[in-house]
A = this chain, B = another copy of it.
Amino acid sequence: MTDTKKRIIESAIRIFNEDLSAPLQKVADNAEVTRRTLHRYFKDRNELVAVCKQAIESSCKKAMITAIQSSNDALVQLERMLYAGIDCGAKYSVFYKQHQSKDHKHTHHNKNCADYDYIYNQFQRIIIELQKEGKVNPAMSPEWIQVLHSGIIESTINAREITTKSFEEIKNLAWTSYIKAIAP
C-alpha cells in the first residue's frame, strides 16, 4: 500500500470518527492531498468508509490477539489488553462499537466476527480465571467489566489530550484505577 493511501485512511478514520458525514474535502485536507487524489485511491465514499472499518478491524484485532498471546498469566494478559486498547486510540472505540451496535448483524461465519468472538471469549475467560483466583470481584459480571474496560480506555485517550502528564504515567494511572475498580 502506498504512503498516500495509508495517510488518507488514517485521516479518514480520524475525521469520520467524530463526524461520519463530514465532506471528503475535510479528509483530503487532513491527509494533505487534493480531493482528486483521494478519488483516485477510493472509488467513492462508501469504499473509503469500508476500507477504514477494515483497517480498524485488523489493527485492533492484531494488537488484542498479540496481547492475549504474550503471556500465560491472566493478570498480565488483562493489563496488556488494556494497553493495547489504549495504543489503538480512537480506533478501539470504533472497533468496539462496530460489534456492539444494534444494526450490526453478528454472525460467526463472518471472519471479522469470528475473530471478535475469539477476543471476547478470551476476555471472558481471563475475567473468570481472575475471579477464581480471588483477584477480581466475583459480583461483577464479565459484561460489566468489559464496558468498564472500554470506558477506561476512552478516559485514558481523553486524559492524554488535556493533561501534561507523560503517556506512560497516564497508562499506569489507567491500569491502577482499573484493577482496583474490579478488585474483590
Taking Cβ atoms with an 8 Å cutoff, the residues of A that contact B are 18-23, 100, 102, 140-141, 143-144, 147-148, 150-152, 154-156, 158-159, 161-163, 165, 170, 173, 177-178, 180-183
B148 A152 Cβ-Cβ under 8 A = yes
**Bound CA–CA A54/B56 (angstroms):** 34
Q: How many Å from the CB of A147 to the closest CB on chain B?
A: 4
A162: which B residues are within 8 A, CB to CB? 100, 143, 147
Q: How many Å from the CB of A156 to the closest CB on chain B?
A: 8
Select which of B144, B159, B180, B183 is within 8 A of A144 by beta carbon. Answer: B159
A154: which B residues are within 8 A, CB to CB? 151, 154
Q: How many Å from the CB of A116 to the closest CB on chain B?
A: 14
**Bound CA–CA A100/B170 (angstroms):** 18
**Bound CA–CA A100/B157 (angstroms):** 13
**Bound CA–CA A141/B80 (angstroms):** 24
A155: which B residues are within 8 A, CB to CB? 147-148, 150-152
Question: Taking A19-B20, A177-B182, A182-B177 as contacts, is the C-beta distance between A151 and B143 under 8 angstroms?
Answer: no
18 contacts between A and B (CB under 8 A): A19-B19, A19-B21, A21-B23, A100-B161, A100-B162, A140-B173, A143-B159, A143-B162, A144-B173, A144-B177, A147-B156, A147-B158, A148-B155, A148-B177, A151-B155, A152-B155, A180-B180, A180-B181
**Bound CA–CA A150/B153 (angstroms):** 12
User: Which 10 residue pairs across A and B have the least CB separation, nearest first?
Assistant: A151-B155, A181-B181, A21-B21, A177-B181, A151-B151, A147-B159, A147-B155, A19-B20, A147-B158, A148-B155
